[in-house]
Chain A
């Protein structure tokens, strides 16, 4: 029997959901609002909410002081490059683990995940030294490499879970129909895994876009993505909340827009298999 939803219950739960959503969104909203305040109002106590002197001066300052486009391009290339390479490695890896598992497959999966349990700072010095010796410091290739390796376990895990949901029979049917492994991947597996592939791609892109530890430590200017651009506004000469907020708003804007347009894919992909 379907549960009866009374209109009062509906109103209460809708209000609760909106409140919860608002609470989650509040920091971002606050950041955007702060970016339109003057530095003085930005740390005024008590804080002003909407009724302050609106200004775009911070954006102008940020633009003149640093090269947003340069950092944004770096972000796109680093996040995009690391995602594509991770996907190219992860698809065959996840395929073989899902459809041709061996006795050690589970151990390999667990071992890969365990690499994410170690705090990255633990390997900062060796990685830094390796990067220095190979001339990878402050290069896009270097950042792509480290972000790709860092996210690979998650990408493989996600794809593995999606592939696991695909009935083996269908792939066997394709094999009986004469498809080679390559054609099986292209004609049968990939189209069926599109929601999973898309959400993995998006999530990995977002993770790479927002990654701050390695990008801050391994790049300074040439390859520096938007995370470095933001960090440059929390400088030792004093905190400039309004300018920092303006820089942050600029840095997250592209990814929020991307997320907004792909939210259906994201949600569908993340709940793939949970609801059949």
Chain B
């Protein structure tokens, strides 16, 4: 079991409030991603769950027990660090076995578990190597092996893939997701990369300035962002924001429309504008359109459009997929 509940969790470093009243319910077996811009407190929140930082207020419950006074190792969680944090003087075997050794397991059992973990992660040929003789991806696997071998209630991942190159990152992303589903262990994963968040998560927690802005499945966040921040943060390229007045909706402070929901229409229909930059990716065409008082709009058109800078276009937003926000940035539900 690995159910994690945060109740009114606060964290301050001196006068600075890093986490302001976080409430969250992470179900057993879920893959939950904390995402947000740098400095939003996502790593701090993870470290609070891990026990590497002490909470200033509130409760952290793991399977119903408040663990705020429980030391990290006794919480039954394991963590994968951004820097891998392998013990450089120990072999791969020693690294994976360390936690079990500290727990005082018998030698034979340790060996059996280490070998099983190594087999799962394709590390068997490297068991006697030192971390410095491994590639980045292999090191990351060792770090994951060290986490799974202890059969924790939950895995905590702190930006584990950000030190890998792009191709390897995609591969490891798949491997981590597959492994988590296979083991069925709760996972909390911190990243600033929204693609990672969208692809890996069962549920995403969007954090901003120490506050949880929204908690929901990736598609919920994409389709029904609760506020301007989430709307702007989730989705790539970023959602277009225009003032409601300029768009002809006086009751709305800000109108949001995603680049993929802007259609290039017939002449005279919709918002007129001039293409300032056109990016042709083959599969998609990104247009940056100067639309007068509406500002610059980004358009994502599927397929190839032979438009170039200076061309005149008319854009019509998909009326069913418009997002309306009030002056405080909250969404207006209709």
Interface size of A by CB at 8 A reads 16
A46: interface (CB < 8 Å):
no
Residues of B near A191 (CB, < 8 A) are 89
Known: A170-B87, A172-B85. A178 touches B52 (CB 8 A): no
Residues of A near B87 (CB, < 8 A) are 170, 173-174, 187-188, 192
**Of listed B89, B102, B103, residue having the most chain A CB within 10 A:** B102
Q: Give per-residue flags for B38-65: 1 if the beta carbon is below 8 A from chain A beta carbons, else 0.
A: 0000000000001010000000000000
Instruction: Select B72's contact among A167, A169, A176, beta carbons within 8 Å.
Output: A176
A192 to B132, CA, bound (A): 13
Verify A192–B88 contact, CB threshold 8 A. Answer: yes
Known: A167-B83, A169-B83, A187-B98. A176 touches B73 (CB 8 A): yes
Interface size class of chain B, counting residues whose CB lies under 8 Å from the partner chain: 20 to 34
A175: interface (CB < 8 Å):
yes
A40 to B71, CA, bound (A): 75
Which chain B residue has the least Cβ–Cβ distance from A177?
B99
Verify B78–A192 contact, CB threshold 8 A. Answer: no
B212: interface (CB < 8 Å):
no
Residues of B near A188 (CB, < 8 A) are 87
Instruction: Select B73's contact among A167, A169, A170, A177, beta carbons within 8 Å.
Output: A177
A255: interface (CB < 8 Å):
no
What does DSSP make chain A's interface, helix, strand, loop or mixed? Answer: helix
B126: interface (CB < 8 Å):
no
Residues of B near A175 (CB, < 8 A) are 52, 71-73
Known: A191-B89, A192-B88. A178 touches B83 (CB 8 A): no
A128 to B73, CA, bound (A): 51
A179 to B71, CA, bound (A): 11
B146: interface (CB < 8 Å):
yes
Which chain A residue has the least Cβ–Cβ distance from B74?
A178
Q: Which residues of B contact A (CB under 8 A)?
A: 50, 52, 71-74, 77-79, 81-83, 85-89, 98-99, 102-103, 146, 150
